[in-house]
Structure 1
Amino acid sequence: MNLEEHYNKLYADSIIKIKDDDYEIDHLINSPLDNRFGITLLTRPSVEVKNDIQKFLNELKSIDPYQYFYGNSDIHVTVMSIISCYNGFQLERINISEYINLISKSLVKNSKIKIEFKGVTASPSCIMIQGFMNTNFLNLIRNNLRENFKNSNLQQSIDKRYSLQTAHTTVVRFQNKINNKPAFLKIIEAYRHYDFGSFEVKNLELVYNDWYQKEKHVKKLYEFSI
């Protein structure tokens, strides 16, 4: 996949929808009835990168503070959604050690993965920071996970929603009608090619999580060194 082309198309298509009020508002973000949970393998950007992202988010907040903005504790890059969040998932019903062992077998040691966050893109439901990988090692790990889980009897839902090949991070979700849309979109356009910095991926976390990766719901199950 050509990530730049992918992000560009996603941005162009989504901005048209947002301008036409054809965007998706998530009504479950603050719902106490939301019981969607799953497990995810992820990595987290450096503090420096996350702080730079917050500068962008603060500008958006000054225009419309009523959207859902990710705090530093929740910003992440999904390596693989092992069990996509669904209502009623219970951690106690799976054997975590089996998942840890299988993931360990799928990793590529000394892979030297570096992710550069450059530019902003969008979907009809959220705003994302574009992530670019310096090598193909992250997708190699993903392919190993796909193959190993496919050949196991472990519960999983890999690629059920879509086949993940990017390294983006979601930083805003629409939870209300966008206030002052022209000004909101102007800030997004101003950061369209902004360099948020880069970080080296040294650790991957296996976590139990809700749909939004809120810190108060996330439980770290294991940390892998690569």
Structure 2
Amino acid sequence: MNLSEHYTELFKTSSELILSENYIIDPKICHVSDKRFGVTLLVRPNAEIKANIQAFMKELKKTEPDQYYYPNADIHITIMSIISCAEDFTLENFSTSDYIKIIEKSLVDVNEIGIDYVGVTLSPSAIMIQGFPSDDSLNILRDKLRDNFKNSSLTQSIDSRYSISTAHSTVMRFQKKLDNPKKLIEVVEKFRNHNFGKFTVEKIELVYNDWYQRERNTLNLCDLYLKFF
């Protein structure tokens, strides 16, 4: 997949939907009754990048103050959704050690993973920072995880919703009707090619999480490090 083309097409089609007020509002964001949980392998950008992202969100908040903005602690890139969030999933019968063994096996011989955060794009329900892996290491890791989990007897739902191929970070979701869709698009366009920074992955986290990866509902199951660290 050409990520640049993918992000551009996503921006184009989503902009048209937003301007025609056919965007998607997520009514569950602030509901304490939302019990969708799953298990995810993810990475988090460094503090400098998070500060740059907050500066962008500050501009968004001037136009759309009532939408849902991700705090620094929740900003992440999903490596793989191992068990997709569902209302009936708990850790009661989850063997963390068995899952860690598969992940560690998948990490063998994976090279350094670098991510460039350049530009902003849209979906019909959210705003995302565009992430670009510096080489194929992330895709190699994802393919190893797919193969190793699917060849195991462990419960997993990898690629059940969609096959992950990007390296974006969602930073804002629509939780209410937009005040000014046109102005929102203008702010996003201003940052379409903005350089938010680059980081090298030092730590990969296996977490039990809710749908939005909110820190208060996240349980860290294990921190894993690439072989060269």
TM-score (norm: length of structure 1): 0.98
* Match in the other structure for 2:63: 63
Are 2:75 and 2:169, in contact at CA under 8 Å, matched by a contact in 1? Answer: yes
Quick check: 1:132 aligned with 2:132? yes
Alignment of 1:9-20 (within 5 A): 9-20=9-20
TM superposition shift of 1:111: 1.2
41-50 or 180-189, which deviates more: 180-189
Which residue is 1:160 aligned to? Answer: 160
8 Å CA contact 1:108–1:137 kept in 2: the answer is: no
Q: Is the 8 A contact 1:114 1:134 kept in 2?
A: yes
- 2:86 aligned residue: 86
Structure 1 SS opposite 2:74 = coil
- Residue-by-residue CA offset, 1:185-211 (whole Å, 9 max, x unaligned): 111110011000010011100000000
Provide the residue aligned with 2:106 in structure 1.
106
- TM (norm. structure 2) is 0.97
Deviation per CA, 1:121-177: give whole Å up to 9, x if none. Answer: 111010000000111011101000000111111111000111111110000100001
The separation in 1 between residues aligned to 2:221 and 2:174, in whole angstroms, is 29
Contact 1:108 1:141 in 2 (8 A): no
The 5 Å alignment of 1:1-226 reads 1-109=1-109, 111-226=111-226
After TM superposition, give the deviation of residue 63 of structure 1 in Å.
1.2
Unpaired stretches in structure 1, ≥5 consecutive residues: none
| Backbone CA RMSD of aligned residues | 0.8
Measure the CA separation in 1 of the matches of 2:168 and 2:111.
19
Shift of 1:109: 4.1
Per-residue deviation, 1:184: 1.6
Number of matched pairs: 226
Q: Which amino acid aligns with 1:147?
A: D
How many angstroms apart in 2 are the aligned matches of 1:112 and 1:127?
A: 28
Post-superposition CA distance 1:88-124 (Å, at most 9, x none): 2111211010000011000144611110000001110
| Cα distance between partner residues in 1 of 2:163 and 2:111 | 21
Counterpart residue type for residue 211 of structure 1? W
Alpha-carbon contact 1:203-1:223 (below 8 Å) kept: yes
Measure the CA separation in 2 of the matches of 1:182 and 1:126. Answer: 15
Provide the rounded CA distance (Å) in 2 between the counterparts of 1:7 and 1:40: 23
The residue type paired with residue 199 of structure 1 is F
In the TM superposition, structure 1's runs of 4+ consecutive aligned residues that sit over 2 Å from their partners are: none
- Percentage of matched positions with identical amino acids: 51
Structure 2 Cα separation of the partners of residues 38 and 150 of structure 1: 17
Distance 1:106 1:175 in 2: 37
2:11, 2:187 → 1: CA distance?
A: 14
CA 156–110 in structure 1, closer or farther in 2 if over 3 Å, else same: closer
Letter in 2 for 1:217: N
Q: Gaps (5+ residues) in structure 2?
A: none
What letter is aligned with 1:114? G
- Between 103-112 and 92-101, the greater mean CA deviation after superposition: 103-112
